[in-house]
Amino acid sequence: AQSVTQPDIHITVSEGASLELRCNYSYGATPYLFWYVQSPGQGLQLLLKYFSGDTLVQGIKGFEAEFKRSQSSFNLRKPSVHWSDAAEYFCAVGEIGGSQGNLIFGKGTKLSVKP
């Protein structure tokens, strides 16, 4: 069965420090991958996506993610975290060419930023 695992429920980093949020997926077909961010009480905003091509993708707000097929991972990174990055982050996977367009979401990683 398809699944997405975000191993870290909660991460705290200092402002200005680097960040890496982990995402592992289990998917039989060729996946496409996403990272979303959610502020408390709000909807989800798309940070970046990977469909094909260059395995390092750039997104909004200075985020990037790297697709590693051999490790079934799609980790999200940011070189220097800002206090406004405090939020919950969700990794999602879907199927390229799939008929339904459904995405499977991880359970999220909550990011706290220390001043």
- Interface positions with other proteins (CB under 8 A): 9, 32, 34, 36, 41-46, 49, 51, 90, 94-96, 98, 100-103, 105-108
Coarse DSSP helix, strand, coil percentages of the chain, rounded to the nearest 5 percent: 10, 50, 40
Nearest distance, CB of residue 79 and other proteins, angstroms: 25
Which residues lie closer than 8 Å to 19 by C-beta, 6 or more apart?
11, 13, 76, 77, 78, 81, 85, 111
Nearest distance, CB of residue 22 and other proteins, angstroms: 15
Our CB check for other proteins shows the closer of 49 and 77 to be 49
Our CB check for other proteins shows the closer of 78 and 108 to be 108
Nearest distance, CB of residue 107 and other proteins, angstroms: 4
Our CB check for other proteins shows the closer of 15 and 22 to be 22
The pair of structure tokens assigned to 3 is 């699944």
Q: Is 115 helix (H, G, I), strand (E, B) or coil?
A: coil
Our CB check for other proteins shows the closer of 101 and 115 to be 101
Separation CA 18–CA 97 (nearest Å): 35
